[in-house]
C-alpha cells in the first residue's frame, strides 16, 4: 500500500501541511516501526520543500562519547507515543519506546523519535524530568547540526529509500498555493521482507551463472 504526502485543508498530520517537518523517524507509536521507507517525488514546489536526513546512529555515538549520562538517559527512559485521528480509517494507537534502542552491548540498534506524536503523558519521577529534557535537547542539537545533516531537493521522478530505524528525516517549509504544490508518494517495507527478496534475487542470479 502507498500513501500520499501533500498539503490539505483537513490535515491531521504536520506532514500534510506546508510547514517545516523536524527530524523524526516514522511510527515510533508502533511497537515494531517500519524498517524501510520509500518516497517517490511526483510534484515539487519551486521554492522550499528541501528534504533533510541525518544518521541517527552516528549522532547517538557522538552523544555517547561527549555525554555518556545523556546517552544512558535516552537509551533507558520509556517515552509515551500516541496517535489518534482519521486517515483512511479511524485509529488510536499508543506505545512506549526508548528514544535510543540498544542491544546488550549498549550500541544503538533503532532510533524512536517523533516529537509530533510524543505524548503529553510522561510518567517518570519528577527529579528525572529536567535531566531527560537536557539530554533530549543535546541529542536534538546534534541532529540539527550543519555538520551532521544532509539537505537535498527531490525532483519529479526521483525516488529515495532509507533505513527508518537509523535515518531521521525532515523537510523544510514551503509557501502554500491555490492547489497542491508538492506531492510525494510513500511506502514502507519490513527488513525481513527486504532480506528475503534479496536472498531470492541472489539465488536466481547464482542459478543463471
Q: pLDDT tens digit string along 77-112?
A: 999 999 887 777 787 889 999 999 999 999 999 999
Q: pLDDT tens digit string along 167-195?
A: 999 999 999 888 889 999 999 998 777 77
Q: Is 69 helix (H, G, I), strand (E, B) or coil?
A: helix
Q: Which residues pair with 86 in a beta bridge?
A: 90
In this prediction, residue 16 carries a pLDDT of: 87
The residue with cell 527529579 is 127
Q: pLDDT tens digit string along 129-155?
A: 999 999 999 999 999 999 999 999 999
Residue 20 pLDDT grade (very low, low, confident, very high; cuts 50, 70, 90):
very high
Give strand ranges (E) for the chain: 3-6, 21-24, 36-43, 51-55, 78-86, 90-98, 100-102, 108-111, 149-152, 159-163, 167-171, 183-189
CA 67 – CA 86 distance, rounded (Å) = 40
Q: Give phi and psi for 155, each to the nearest 5.
A: -110, 155
In this prediction, residue 209 carries a pLDDT of: 66
For the residues 37-52, what does the mean pLDDT come to?
Answer: 97
Domains of the chain with CATH codes: 16-207 (3.60.130.10)
Q: What is the DSSP letter of 126?
A: G
Better pLDDT: 160 or 8: 160
Could you tell me the CA-to-CA distances from 66 to 44, 55, 160 in Å, in that order? Answer: 39, 17, 32
- pTM over 0.75? The answer is yes
- Is residue 70 pLDDT above 70, yes or no? yes
Amino acid at each position: 500500500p502507498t500513501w500520499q504526502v501533500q498539503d490539505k485543508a483537513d490535515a491531521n498530520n504536520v506532514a500534510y501541511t506546508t510547514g517545516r517537518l523536524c527530524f523524526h523517524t516514522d511510527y515510533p507509536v508502533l511497537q515494531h516501526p517500519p524498517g524501510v521507507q520509500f518516497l517517490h517525488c511526483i510534484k515539487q514546489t519551486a521554492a522550499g520543500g528541501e528534504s533533510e536526513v541525518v544518521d541517527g546512529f552516528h549522532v547517538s555515538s557522538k552523544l555517547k562519547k561527549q555525554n555518556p549520562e545523556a546517552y544512558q538517559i535516552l537509551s533507558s527512559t520509556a517515552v509515551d507515543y500516541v496517535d489518534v485521528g482519521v486517515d483512511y480509517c479511524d485509529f488510536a494507537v499508543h506505545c512506549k519506546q526508548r528514544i535510543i534502542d540498544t542491544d546488550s552491548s549498549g550500541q544503538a540498534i533503532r532510533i524512536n523519535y517523533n516529537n509530533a506524536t510524543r505524548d503529553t503523558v510522561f510518567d517518570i519521577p519528577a527529579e528525572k524530568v529536567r535531566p531527560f529534557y537536557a539530554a533530549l535537547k543535546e541529542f536534538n542539537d546534534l541532529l540539527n547540526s550543519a555538520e551532521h545533516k544532509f539537505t537535498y531537493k527531490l525532483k519529479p521522478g526521483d525516488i529515495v529509500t532509507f533505513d527508518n530505524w537509523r535515518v531521521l528525516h525532515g523537510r523544510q517549509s514551503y509557501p502554500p498555493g491555490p492547489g497542491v504544490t508538492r506531492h510525494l508518494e510513500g511506502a514502507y517495507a519490513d527488513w525481513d521482507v527486504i532480506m528475503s527478496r534479496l536472498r531470492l534475487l541472489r539465488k536466481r542470479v547464482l542459478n543463471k551463472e
